[in-house]
Amino acid sequence: MSLSDLASPNVVPLPSTASASSASRLRIPRVGVTIAVAWLAVLAVGALAAAAGLTADPLANDYAVISQAPSLAHPFGTDNLGRDVFSRSLHGAGASAIVALVTVTVGGGLGILLGVWAGLRRGIADAITGFVTDVTIALPSLIIVATIVTLAGPSLPTIALTIAAFAIPVFARLGRSATLAVATENHVVVARTLGASGWRILTREVLPGVLPALMPFVLTTLATAIVAEGALSFLGFGLRPPEPSWGGLIAEGRTQLALAPWVTLMPALLLCATILSINVLGEHLREAKR
């Protein structure tokens, strides 16, 4: 199974996007793009500040302020152990960002390489890649993730790499078809005829064509990975408390939804706003390509 069903069913890569005309897309106004970029930048700064220890300790219990509503001292309130939800949410943002970036670089990188290899070599390479992809897609992701997490422990690297692994087959498929499209273009054919080395063709002619074509999907994957991490944590297969992650925070706060709704709603709002911003950028990128 692919990455998207970990996040199921929200973020499914849309196959139609490649062929749909510009008129069919939601036109994103400039100011929307600006706000999305600004939001992600603010979040990144916040997450870095939190990681640098500039906010309250996300794990420190302050038993004097248990389950307090948002205030100046605690902008997002506190949870039932008196921990600062704002700081925990920002640390959660860090975890989500790491998962998303690892997924795109490792999963996307390997997947695209596999796809390009299959697309250029065809034959055996194509068959192997295709088969491995078929197997991965038919495996139920949950059991695999649960097994890996049980084996290796629910640490951030484990979770990030597992989610990245599920992104490989999709990237391989897209990489392969993008390569096939590029490989028939004149400049590649000419380079081949001129006897350029395989490496040169790959780096000079193919990748520059393939990578931009996949950019919108890279952004979709960022969003998918964040939701997948959230869903896994929510189910208890992701980062475990007390380490903050968005899905974990939302799940943890659920016991107190009636008493202290901010513990769940604040990280949920951050999560939704972030996904929305990434989607806005992806949409903008697709538009700009035309």
- Residues 144 to 183: which contact another protein by CB under 8 A? 146-147, 149-151, 153-154, 173
Between 18 and 48, name the residue whose CB sits nearer to another protein: 18
**Alpha-carbon span 278 to 21, nearest angstrom:** 21
Q: Burial of 6 by CB count in 10 Å (0-12 exposed, 13-18 middle, 19+ buried)? A: buried
- Asked whether 264 and 254 are in contact (CB, 8 A), the reply is yes
Cβ 196 to another protein shortest distance, Å: 30
Contact residue for another protein among 227, 249, 270, 281 (CB under 8 A): 227
Residues 50-79 interacting with another protein (rule: CB under 8 A)? 59-61, 63, 66
Between 19 and 186, name the residue whose CB sits nearer to another protein: 19
Between 21 and 184, name the residue whose CB sits nearer to another protein: 21
Cβ 197 to another protein shortest distance, Å: 31
* Segment lying near another protein (by CB under 8 A), choices 44-52, 107-115, 138-146, 189-197: 138-146
By CB under 8 A, residue 281 contacts another protein? no
In the structure encoding, which two tokens stand for residue 2, read together?
């692919």
Contact residue for another protein among 180, 235, 285, 287 (CB under 8 A): 235
- Asked whether 96 and 44 are in contact (CB, 8 A), the reply is no
Residues 4-23 interacting with another protein (rule: CB under 8 A)? 5, 7-12, 14-21, 23
- Residue ranges of the alpha helices (H) in 103-206? 109-121, 123-138, 141-152, 156-183, 186-193, 198-200
The set of residues, in sequence order, having a beta carbon less than 8 Å from that of 242 and lying 6+ positions away, is 59
* Segment lying near another protein (by CB under 8 A), choices 92-100, 188-196, 208-216, 275-283: 275-283
Contact residue for another protein among 187, 241, 288, 289 (CB under 8 A): 241
**Alpha-carbon span 249 to 269, nearest angstrom:** 12
Residues 72-111 interacting with another protein (rule: CB under 8 A)? 80-82
154 DSSP 8-state letter: S
Return phi, psi of residue 78, to 5°: -130, 160
**Alpha-carbon span 237 to 245, nearest angstrom:** 12
Cβ 58 to another protein shortest distance, Å: 11
